[in-house]
Structure 1
């Protein structure tokens, strides 16, 4: 009689690359995933996250890590980020499940209480130093489990900056490390004593004498894709060009399209993504936009320009966020599908969305705009706000990876969990309001217990 095979328990591997990250000469770096899986073959399939200062890893080893479906996260404090990611993974993977730590710093994770608390919740925890993964025999030639489809990296230093912070390839990671924005944010996080040694303070006076008025002021564009749709008569491939043309006096700028991307057809989503517009999937509308603008403002002090394309004027006024930015010295430009009854006093300029798009067709210097767009397209990206705290892949560089993500079981489960949580919250609020109105507090007590 054949026995039914029990489903494999979920297992997550967290690799502390700051504690040790070397590769013996007799091993092929391209077999890094096979070596890890061979060491933990009783717990397959695995999700593997390499967390630490990725700049310390030689390119000859870093590229194989990314190409083998290992999720790489660049950060300052590996152990702190690993603890946070373990908790996120735990929240999305109920016991029985296994959490594996590859690190030489077991005492740090034990003393923090993270590993003991996981065991108390019936999770199996395994800690193994990196050097113990290698044996005298070479690793098997075949991969012992399915390689994760979505190759990805995340820069924790830039994740809250409103700039590109995630991608799918080794090439895009290296370009990110070389970008002015990333270098600036890394220097910004350094203690002053260290920063003073790295920078030539003696050049400060010479720098201040330069004419800063000729430098372009930082500009960010946020497009509420839920309320300001692309008209049928507009070619989706020219949306970026239209925005650039209508707002050419503020170039260069980044554009973030925020909203429920699952509502968009492929005929619209793919062209927008391929044009270099950064896309963020979420279902909280104005809240997601406000959070993103807030992160951007923290890294771009006034004078800077904020351009918001959205019809949710009442929400933005209620929050009072945009007027406060205007008071701080930011220039704010508003674009609407339809002009609000009361023009926003905080905005220096208002424009209709349809007019903004039509302006793109009147530009004569097409070559200049096309060149700027091409440069922006080198780091196209999408982010799924629904899955950003799930411990799973939540960002990428291509339309194909976005559609695969939307079809994944993990994304669907995450979306269902959020929908259920919101429904329960609404029910609780309604019952509470009705009970307060009727003077009956027994229903409120039942909700609390």
Structure 2
């Protein structure tokens, strides 16, 4: 360096600092990339994304390449800075070069470029891949040697760099990605995606119609009453049973009901009804909704009866009930149309005791606990641990409630004042 002028050395020093900033920003940019956006761009044929994806396939080699380049230019820059400062200040120049170059590298080659790369990783990483790719090929032998030593040291402590990269996401991580999508995904679509991911946590008991609310055709009744039940049916499919739902014979579709009602009343027999029914499909209790949705699809069915471990029927579940867990209620305002939830003029809400907790939460945007009883009646009884009397007041999950009617050891109706909601769990008055 004795024959090189100070001006030339200064220009070389500036170039080395720029190179150091390039390596620093490349490292941060590469490591800060959204891997799923990178995969998407690579599938679309983006050249920068394709090169970057290849480099990131072995992050140990990429880091080795960047550090080799960064350390080389930093050491060379330190040597040149020392020569320049010694020429100007003599022996004092060594200390000045050390302090001055440390500050310059921190500001212009570390903090500033790394911050920029962290904020805009794609703008840094993709262009850098066009330089790092050929540089990797030139320096392959040095990178390979460095990685051989470092990977050997890591294996001594039980770390295998070959299997360290894992881009798989679990359902909770997917939920965070969907929730953080913001305006990129409409709010309604976000809710639907989150509902799909939650299906595995919800069982058929959470969405079924309880057995005491199941309506059907009782063949033990006189034929004229059976005909009346079919004429007054409001559902597409009706269970046909004898005396009680546990003695179910099958399901009767509305299309078959129309054909049967075309007969004269005196010609319609119970035998004809039995010939028109379809077999019963039973669903074991505890079946997750995602599993049951696939079962319905596989068996080409839309309805089934939920049974417990003893074979007793607990309720009825339909494909529509599962779909409503994903897309929401098919009515415009469930709270206004549901017979179980009625808004009063004074601001209070009267809720049927048999209303399910999930329907209440979804309809009124509440947060009643869903990990225990399935209905409001069951939730209140669990907390009180006794059969209450009409007029009993309480605060359940922060909502002031008054029990209006109790019949047959069941809470039939409850009045709630949502505007007085407080952030409490339970305070029985």
> Normalized against structure 1, the TM-score is what?
0.21
TM-score (norm 2): 0.22
Which one has a larger percent helix, Structure 1 or Structure 2? 2
